[in-house]
């Protein structure tokens, strides 16, 4: 069975041929190298696209740390524990007066690449929000807003816990990610 162009398309091609004075079939027959080149380039582009689509995406490997910084609410001291521990964790000083564990997650920063104890500082502390429901997680949020869902943060100086997504929480986060007077940006310090 022979493929036949629709009448309207045949009419348009005939009309174009009459206006331009060029017969497409004659031009194709007169220039076979150009047509072969266009065909070869089209097939090559198609192959490149298909190969790119079939190649697996390179996954970014995120290094997981075995140890993490924690802060003892009783003594105000940092200590190191397993990073996957569920906060609050048992602190070296024992439980809080209300019986709950005294260890909370701490984010420790420095402005120098390999800091000593005096060059490190605690940016903020984190605990899970007891009022947050897992089914209220909003996947449409991005960046710090997504990270902050279900988390309460505070600074060690001010023991007032606020939602990480609140204005107060965002102000705490911004304070430590702004360059200092020398233009240096604080970076997270890994525990030893």
pLDDT score, position 142: 65
pLDDT score, position 62: 66
Q: What is the pLDDT of residues 49-99, one digit of tens each?
A: 999 888 887 777 766 778 889 999 999 899 988 888 888 889 999 998 888
**Distance of CA 84 to CAs 77, 108, 169, Å?**
20, 17, 23
Report how far residue 147's alpha carbon sits from residue 157's, in angstroms, rounded to the nearest whole number.
23
In a domain, 1, yes or no: no
What is the CB-side half-sphere exposure of residue 105 using CA atoms within 13 A?
17
Q: What is the pLDDT of residues 41-56, one digit of tens each?
A: 999 999 999 998 888 8
Q: Are residues 108 and 147 in the same domain?
A: yes
In a domain, 171, yes or no: yes
pLDDT grade for 104, boundaries at 50, 70 and 90: very high
Q: Are residues 11 and 104 in the same domain?
A: no
Give residue for tokens 């097939």: 43
Q: Are residues 79 and 153 in the same domain?
A: yes
In a domain, 60, yes or no: no
Q: Are residues 90 and 131 in the same domain?
A: yes
Q: Are residues 24 and 99 in the same domain?
A: no
Q: Are residues 108 and 152 in the same domain?
A: yes
Report how far residue 21's alpha carbon sits from residue 18's, in angstroms, rounded to the nearest whole number.
5
In what helix (H) or strand (E) does residue 68 lie, and over which residues does it extend?
Answer: strand 67-72
Q: Determine the structural domain holding residue 95 and report its residue range.
A: 67-188
HEC letters along 127-166: EECCCCCHHHCCCCCCCHHHHCCCEEEECCCCCCCEECCC
pLDDT score, position 157: 87
Q: Are residues 81 and 158 in the same domain?
A: yes
Q: Are residues 40 and 72 in the same domain?
A: no
When divided into structural domains, the chain yields a total of 2
Q: Is the pLDDT of residue 153 over 80?
A: yes
Q: Which of 35, 88, 28, 81 is nearest to 191 (CA)?
A: 81
- The answer to whether residues 171 and 161 touch, using CB atoms and an 8 Å cutoff, is no
């Amino acid at each position: 069975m022979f493929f036949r162009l629709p009448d309207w398309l045949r009419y348009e091609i005939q009309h174009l041929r009459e206006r331009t004075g060029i017969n497409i079939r004659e031009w194709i027959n007169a220039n076979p190298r150009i047509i072969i080149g266009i065909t070869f380039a089209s097939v090559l582009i198609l192959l490149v696209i298909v190969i790119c689509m079939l190649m697996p995406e390179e996954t970014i490997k995120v290094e997981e740390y075995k140890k993490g910084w924690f802060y003892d609410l009783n003594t105000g001291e940092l200590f190191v524990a397993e990073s996957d521990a569920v906060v609050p964790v048992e602190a070296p000083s024992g439980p809080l007066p209300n019986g709950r564990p005294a260890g909370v997650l701490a984010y420790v920063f420095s402005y120098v690449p390999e800091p000593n104890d005096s060059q490190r500082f605690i940016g903020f502390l984190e605990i899970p929000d007891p009022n947050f429901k897992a089914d209220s997680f909003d996947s449409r949020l991005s960046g710090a807003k997504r990270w902050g869902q279900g988390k309460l943060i505070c600074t060690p100086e001010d023991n007032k816990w606020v939602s990480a997504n609140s204005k107060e929480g965002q102000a705490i986060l911004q304070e430590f990610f702004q360059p200092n007077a020398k233009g240096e940006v604080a970076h997270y310090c890994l525990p030893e």
